[in-house]
């Protein structure tokens, strides 16, 4: 097997590996974004609940 063929094979392998890594990174980023969005939504919900409770308390104490 000549050296050129081996080098070509290795290059192909490297390209595949890099592409897979990129895909993995993208997936991870998407997951992180989703998690962040979920957290933000949860925080917003909590805040809304707190505000509602505060409002109710204010109305009751009035």
Q: Classify 1 as helix, strand or coil.
A: coil
Start-end of H helices in the chain:
3-61
Tell me the pTM. 0.50
Per-residue pLDDT of the chain (62 residues; tens, 9 = 90+): 678 888 889 999 999 999 999 999 999 999 999 999 999 999 999 999 999 999 999 998 87
Distance CA 58, CA 61 (A): 5
Residues present in the chain in total:
62
């Amino acid at each position: 097997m000549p050296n050129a063929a081996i080098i070509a094979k290795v290059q192909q392998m490297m390209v595949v590996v890099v592409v897979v890594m990129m895909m993995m990174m993208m997936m991870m980023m998407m997951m992180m974004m989703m998690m962040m969005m979920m957290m933000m939504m949860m925080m917003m919900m909590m805040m809304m609940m707190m505000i509602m409770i505060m409002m109710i308390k204010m109305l009751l104490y009035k």
